[in-house]
Structure 1
Amino acid sequence: MRFSTFAVVLILGAISAPATGVTKRGVDFYDPRDRGGSQLNHSADAGEPLNVIISGLSSPEVLTPAGFLNYARAIGLSRECFGQHSGGKQQANLGDGHGWVDEREVLREHFNVPVLGTCFESLLGGNHLRTFRQDGPDANSGALFLAVSQEEDLSKHHMIVPDGYNIGRDRLVASAVGTKKFLTKTYETTVRDITGLLQPGSEGVNHGISQDGIVKLLTVTVK
């Protein structure tokens, strides 16, 4: 049997073509600025830096609300005291086509005290974060963008401490990197510094607090 050159090309093309339904590998995140977004969220007339990103290449369950809450508890944070939140919600535009959207949640340091630990944070101050997910039609990485900071106690109305954005970010990362456990889950977290997303300094930053412009990229794997 003789095959024409055209037939051979068709056969080879069919063999080399990817199978239908093969999932492409994801990405860590998309730069919000590429599609009109910002690495600063919106709070009053300024914004808080989105200074930690949970990579879209993390284990998928970590990027869900329940999965991230479980992970957060493993690294020292949990839901607010009895679910109570004072103050308005902050918004972020992650350049994913959703525009400016409300924070998904606020989580606070729990001091390793079940149930009541975040009540201590509300009274005494400590670390806290706000979560935003990049999942819109224009940039669906699934990554979580976190605004992390260290805040004062209740008597000072939870103002951010001096250098609180860098301090809060670094404390969170120190608690996260390596192997951590909560209930039945074990997490392995690695970190990489990302520069260029945030402009160092205090321009446009809430309370005029300067920050160093470094974003910490965490990749979390459920073991």
Structure 2
Amino acid sequence: MKLSLLASIIAIASSVSAAPLAENVVDLGGRAIVDFYDPRSRGGSLLDQSAGLGEPLNVIISGKSSPEVLTKDGFNDFAEAIGFSEECFGIHKGDPQLSDLGDGHGPLGEMEVLRENFGNPVFGTCFETLEGGNHLRVWQQNGPDANSGALFLAVSQEEDLGESHTISPDGYNVGRDKFVAAAVGTHRYLFTTYTTTAEKVPGLLNPGTDGINHGISQDGVVILLTVTVKSIF
């Protein structure tokens, strides 16, 4: 999907207000069947903790998604289907960023860091490391106080290695929009298809630069994605 279509996606999503808290239906594993719990209501934040400030958690994978995608391996497979892979040769430099999702775990390091692979799942993230591109960090809301299973993503467009991977101008909005545009619709990886819908969730982030790392303004938009997994067999 081309980026020029994202405005249409957001416009449609803007008319839908996702419910962060739903009825407390519980699955067999004890996980509440809700889109997510608002981290702020339990002392958490929609900003991660990096360099004394934070990067916005601007995409949420709904806890109502297929359970397969709400695991590290399952999310990685979904990410592969939409053009993201693990870091170049599995090498990660830098300390993990922390996030408190208000689920009783307190601040935890990210579950995964993935980078745009430019259509090459083997070496593409090496190119992203050198030249810059889209990347994401992911945390899961699965603690004893708020076990939704939802995945919270900090998505951003970053500069090249020569710029020390700093966030691009408007990189938080651009990174989110590119990720959503890539995700919405139906995609396939190996023997699985992923069908993804998007909704805009209002009021979770304040627009502007207050508390935002690098002083880069963001528009306050958080997109909720619901991913349905289906085996082709």
Tell me the TM-score normalised to structure 1 length: 0.89
Distance 1:215 1:78 in 2: 23
- 1:136 maps to 143
Distance 1:60 1:88 in 2: 29
1:55 aligns with 2:43: no
- Equivalent AA in structure 1 for residue 173 of structure 2: N
Aligned CA RMSD, in angstroms, stands at 1.4
1:101 aligns with 2:119: no
Distance 1:56 1:94 in 2: 14
Which residue of 155, 164, 169 maps to 1:157?
164
- Of all paired residues, the percent bearing the same amino acid is 67
Distance 1:149 1:106 in 2: 12
Query: Which SS does the other structure have where 2:181 is aligned?
Result: helix
Structure-2 change in CA distance of 1:37 and 1:22 (3 Å): closer
Structure-2 change in CA distance of 1:59 and 1:209 (3 Å): same
1:167 aligns with 2:174: yes
Distance 1:108 1:129 in 2: 6
What is the Cα deviation at residue 86 of structure 1?
Answer: 1.4
Which residue of 221, 225, 229 maps to 1:222?
229
- 2:188 maps to 181
- Equivalent AA in structure 1 for residue 64 of structure 2: L
Which residue of 60, 64, 68 maps to 2:71?
64
Runs of 4+ in 1 over 4 A off after TM superposition: 21-25
Query: Which SS does the other structure have where 1:207 is aligned?
Result: helix
- 1:76 maps to 83
Q: Structure 2: which 5+ residue stretches go unaligned?
A: 1-27
**Larger Rg over CA atoms:** 1
What is the Cα deviation at residue 29 of structure 1?
Answer: 0.2
- 1:126 maps to 133
1:145 aligns with 2:156: no
How many residue pairs align between the two structures?
A: 203
Query: Which SS does the other structure have where 1:188 is aligned?
Result: strand
Tell me the TM-score normalised to structure 2 length: 0.85
Distance 1:91 1:193 in 2: 24
Distance 2:178 2:133 in 1: 10
Distance 2:167 2:30 in 1: 42
Distance 2:159 2:31 in 1: 44
- Equivalent AA in structure 1 for residue 137 of structure 2: R
